[in-house]
Amino acid sequence: MIKFLEQIRSVEKDIPTSRKIINTILILFLGLSLGTFSKYLDYKQADLPGLLMNIDEALDLTNFLGELSIWSLLALCISIYSKSPARASFNVFVFFLAMVTSYYLYSNYVAGFFPKTYAMIWFALTIISPAFAYISWYAKGKGRWSFIIASLILGVLFIMTFAFGQWYIDLVSVLDLSVFIIGLIVLRRDSLKDTISMVLISIGLAIMINNFFPFVR
| Cα three-residue angle 22-186-178, rounded to 5 degrees | 105
Q: Rounded distance, CA 186 to CA 136, Å? A: 11
Per-residue pLDDT 10s for the chain (217 aa) are 777 878 888 887 778 888 999 999 999 999 999 999 999 998 887 777 878 888 888 888 888 998 899 999 999 999 999 999 999 999 999 999 999 999 999 999 998 888 899 999 999 999 999 999 999 999 999 999 999 999 999 999 999 998 877 777 888 889 999 999 999 999 999 999 999 999 999 999 998 888 776 654 4
Q: Rounded distance, CA 149 to CA 162, Å? A: 20
| Cβ contacts of 163 within 8 Å, gap of 6 or more | 169, 170, 171, 172
Identify the pLDDT of residue 27: 97
| Cα three-residue angle 182-185-188, rounded to 5 degrees | 145
Domain boundaries, the chain: 18-138, 141-217
Torsion on CA atoms 51, 54, 56, 59, rounded to nearest 10? -120
Would the CA dihedral through 79, 82, 86, 92 be positive or negative?
Answer: negative
Q: Number of helices (H) and strands (E) in the chain: give both, helices first.
A: 10, 2
